[in-house]
Structure 1
């Protein structure tokens, strides 16, 4: 009888150690992952700062860059006319706890054939889902100061077909330059400009290149490390108490 009891105690202790070891390994892995993310964000911020130290570039400056240059983070100052008959409303954008849309439109640059997609900022959504916010576009060319982003523009979406909605304006769930170009029947450059200055367009610029800074990732890394340590401490005292009670 004592042998059976001893075996049960031994098996219980082994199971407990295995569970704690797995939990600690998971916490350490998550802590290391957050540490890596923090280093990546720090590097990204340094790259953005280096690029923005160049100040606002002209369109001619952009054209002189090698084609393979990733233009994310570059600042651009241009003048252009909004193609106001065709624009997009990016759905489910939250600003200060309010639901709304990001207003996207193509801009034909002055003295150039180039057409650039611009995110003008946030618009509050009407109460009824069936209604869309009204936009009064300026009829004259406007001066724009933009921060560029190139690469992964789509982000995560559950939408099966980003270009399914007919008519204008189009309510969209993701940014797809290829689909936008097809809808517009005009070629768009392979990046988007996020408006930084105020214009006659009543939208609120709110773009942040890095949403979560490295400090938060470092804090999460410490948090996971402490959780792993807590697992070890709790398991140790629990096993010690059980051993004392059984003796």
Structure 2
């Protein structure tokens, strides 16, 4: 009697585990489909912003803090607030590892400073050697589009190194403003009219496209289907025996 009870308990555990694992795989597939739909809506919103009228700096600052300003176009008069360069580490462009270079600009004495992207620069084989970037040294009218990087839940700390140019690990604008002892706008400008600009400006406002999320959904559904088929086959064989 006891072996039968143990056998029934074991089969109950196997069936329950199968249902749980299968449900998790299917749920992950639907989650990826939902993320893909969100990315499609976000892409449509970005296209609308690119076609909308340009903002001035005051309009950009007036946006609600809950709204991601990525994709809005901006035109503003700016003066370099610092000649120092910040280098955002671990950037990849065309399979080449390097940095995104940034410089801080002042728009007006009473407003937060604006972080401006100078472009992508390849890194050296020796990480102790940092690339040399020529800063902008004169006032100019900046035009471009703004973006706000999504925070990395695993690592969002600035982790600024000593010396200049200053290598940083994340674009944490709050910590960067503490470092330079001046408020910064919550978004970054990617300009389209820097003088003597020879550096590329990668634009990737959406880390994963809707198509990739849909591809991941197919993978999760396929895994659920294969797992369910194998478990049903094993159950059928057991019952047949």
The CA distance in 1 between the partners of 2:8 and 2:63, in whole Å, is 67
Kept in 2, the 8 Å contact 1:121–1:203? The answer is yes
Could you say if the C-alpha distance between residues 57 and 140 of structure 1 is closer, same or farther in structure 2, counting changes exceeding 3 Å? same
Report matched runs for 1:219-234 at 5 Å. Answer: 219-234=215-230
Q: How does 1:54-65 map to 2 (within 5 A)?
A: 54-59=52-57, 62=60, 65=62
Question: Shift of the alpha carbon at 1:74?
Answer: 0.4
The 5 Å alignment of 1:182-193 reads 182-193=178-189
Residue 225 to residue 154, structure 1, CA distance change in 2 (3 Å): closer
Q: Which residue of 2 aligns with 1:195?
A: 191
RMSD: 3.0
Find the aligned partners of 1:157 and 1:91 in 2 and give their Cα distance.
Answer: 16
- How big is the shift at 1:226? 2.4
| Structure 1 residue 77: Cα displacement | 3.1
Per-residue Cα deviation, 1:29-54 (whole angstroms, up to 9, x for no partner): 21122122122212212222222211
- Structure 1 or 2, whichever has the larger Rg, is 1
| Within-5 A mapping of 1:4-153 | 7=5, 9-59=7-57, 62=60, 65=62, 70=67, 71-83=69-81, 85-109=83-107, 112-113=108-109, 115-142=113-140, 144-150=142-148
TM norm structure 1: 0.80
Q: Which residue of 1 aligns with 2:172?
A: 176
Secondary structure in structure 2 of the residue aligned to 1:179: helix
Structure 2: gaps of 5 or more residues: none
Separation (CA, whole Å) in 1 of partners of 2:166 and 2:43: 33
1:155 corresponds in structure 2 to 152
Query: Are residues 20 and 167 of structure 1, via their aligned partners in 2, closer, same or farther at CA, if it must alter by over 3 Å?
Result: same
Partner of 1:216: 212
TM-score (norm 2): 0.82
Distance 1:235 1:30 in 2: 19
- 2-side partners of 1:135 and 1:143: how far apart? 20
Alpha-carbon distance change, 204 to 156 in structure 1, aligned in 2, over 3 angstroms: farther
Q: Work out the number of aligned pairs and report it.
A: 238
Offset of residue 158 of structure 1: 4.3
> Which ranges of structure 1 fall in alignment gaps of 5 or more residues?
none
